[in-house]
Chains A and B, each alone.
Chain A
Amino acid sequence: MELKLIWLKCKNWIEERYDIAELKKLAKSKLVPQHRYDFLYYTGGITLFLFVLQFITGMLLAFYYIPHVDFAYESIIEIVTKINLGWFFRAFHHWGAQLCIVFVFIHLFGTLLVKSYRKPREFIWVTGFILLVISIFFGLSGYLMLWDERAFAAVRVATGGAGNLPVIGSFIKIFLRGGTDVTGDTLTRFYAFHVAILPVLSLLLIGLHILLVQYHGMSVPVSQENKQKKGEPFFPNVFYKDMMIWLVVLGIVVTLAIFLPPEIGKKANALAPPPEGIKPEWYFLFLLETLKLFPGIILGFNGETIAIVCVSIGIFFFFLIPFIDRKSNRDEKSPIFTVIGVIYLLYFITMTLVGYFS
């Protein structure tokens, strides 16, 4: 009874100062379209939920992590072996990151295949695409935090690959590494990216992305415009469904963290040869396999540089799809871009699987 009174007092205090009723009305009046592909709307919510979990577990890990070349590896061992539930939060952060990137990809390809990017939502696509790049960089920078030999070699390969880009490659490589090779400076730099620069950028972009979605409303696929049912109120109907899905996702992350905690290898040593059978994180495998397709020298030019340029062109074309797909912008069906989307998706999945099992 006492609690209810306190709650009511707080509610009144806020309502006297802010127009909460208007906000409630707005939330209730917001309708989410219902059609055959409406399950794709939930992928964005799941990604957001995972981002929040990553922020929370990341903050907990940051209390104990020491971003110094001499202590980074030892501090992680201490987190895992000595800190209460440290092993769990580290494993949770690891699996949360993996699932977050999985859902960013699902969200992106879902958007691509149902053409949710079409006019006037091009900017939502742009912010989402940048968020994908940020998520991947989050993954790469977080991977180096461990400072074991696998992480060291993977970052050396990834930053070295970026260095093969013509004109700006060498600048990017040196900027990322903080020097010519992966050293303690790289660790400091990646830590700054991981805990300061990328979180701020992602918060701003997530805010903008959600704001734009609210401004334009949910997109309905062209094929479903005449078939859709009456919209469902976002609050409470869709929000409750979101909550149920989030609970399942939370359960999955916790289960993965318990049954498959990520291993810790030997401490990184710049002078030691890279360990055998080293592979980058799964979301880089398609890039690695693509690079392998190219011979060392093509018409007298460096094959790796040509490969990086080709991959960059492919990614840039992918990014520009909303601006190239004119038919979708006129609310017409554009099967050619569906085919292009399917090709991109199949290529990504195939090359990732080839890289994983090779």
Chain B
Amino acid sequence: MKYFIRILFTAFTIFVSNSLALAEEKIPVFPATPVDVYTIYASLAIFWLAIIGLIVVIKMKLNEIERIQKLGIDKEDKEAPILE
């Protein structure tokens, strides 16, 4: 019985120490609290919306520039009278 308890105790010690080793924490490289995680994902979604919005604005501006260039009215008219 004595030996049995000793073996049991040894097995328990090995199990606990190994469990602790397995549970050795990884260094957190990303915030873990739910509030932070929610804020980050919400910010990312807003960030992408802003990017898409900016792209749309730039594209509209580019289309306008191309339209003006096609009409040829973006070039300086050298014969235009100068207003003094």
List residues of A whose CB falls within 8 A of some B CB.
77, 80-81, 87, 90-91, 233, 236-237, 240-241, 243-244, 247-248, 250-251, 254-255, 258, 261-264
Contacts and interface: CB of A to CB of B under 8 A. Distances in A.
B29 A263 contact: yes
Contacts of A263: 26-27, 29
B33 to A, nearest CB: 12
A77 B27 CA distance: 8
Nearest to A81: B28
Given A263-B26, A264-B29, A258 B44 contact: yes
B44 A254 contact: yes
B31 A87 contact: yes
29 contacts: A77-B27, A80-B28, A81-B28, A87-B31, A91-B29, A236-B65, A237-B62, A237-B65, A237-B66, A237-B69, A240-B61, A240-B62, A240-B65, A243-B58, A244-B58, A244-B59, A247-B51, A247-B54, A248-B55, A254-B44, A254-B47, A255-B48, A258-B40, A258-B44, A261-B29, A261-B30, A262-B29, A263-B27, A264-B29
Contact of A251 (B48, B62, B69): B48
A136 B54 CA distance: 33
A254 B29 CA distance: 15
Given A243-B58, A258-B40, A81 B27 contact: yes
A244 B41 CA distance: 23
Interface residues of B, number: 21
Nearest to A245: B55
A197 B17 CA distance: 47
Given A77-B27, A81-B27, A236-B62, A251 B54 contact: no
A91 B48 CA distance: 18
Nearest to A250: B51
Nearest to A238: B62
Contacts of B62: 236-237, 240-241
A6 to B, nearest CB: 24
Contacts of A87: 29-31
Contacts of A254: 44, 47
A240 B61 CA distance: 9
A303 B59 CA distance: 57
Contacts of B30: 87, 258, 261
